Amino acid sequence: MIKKIGLGLLLLTGTSSCQVVKEFQKNRLNDAEMILANRKIEKTELSFQSYREGASGANAGKSGGGCGCN
């Protein structure tokens, strides 16, 4: 499974050769919905998921602290 995902990622990055994008060409990349992180409105969702599920992290959020007891 992990090998397949790894191969997929390699294929994806390998086939999409990176182009240099100038600042004035970044209007789509700078769109609020293109942000490469969780959006602020997802804050409580991430919090309850970290309580209700065994896995957490790798989402540029907090990776510890707080209780998670309920």
Q: Which residues bind other proteins (CB under 8 A)?
A: 1-2, 5, 9, 12-13, 16, 18-21, 25-26, 28-29, 31-37, 39-45, 47-49, 51-60, 62-67, 69-70
Least Å from the CB of residue 16 to other proteins: 5
Alpha-carbon span 43 to 61, nearest angstrom: 9
Least Å from the CB of residue 60 to other proteins: 7
Q: Could you give the 3-state DSSP secondary structure of residue 29?
A: coil
CB 51 within 8 A of CB 70: yes
- The candidate with the shortest Cα–Cα distance to 68, out of 37, 59, 55, is 55
Least Å from the CB of residue 7 to other proteins: 13
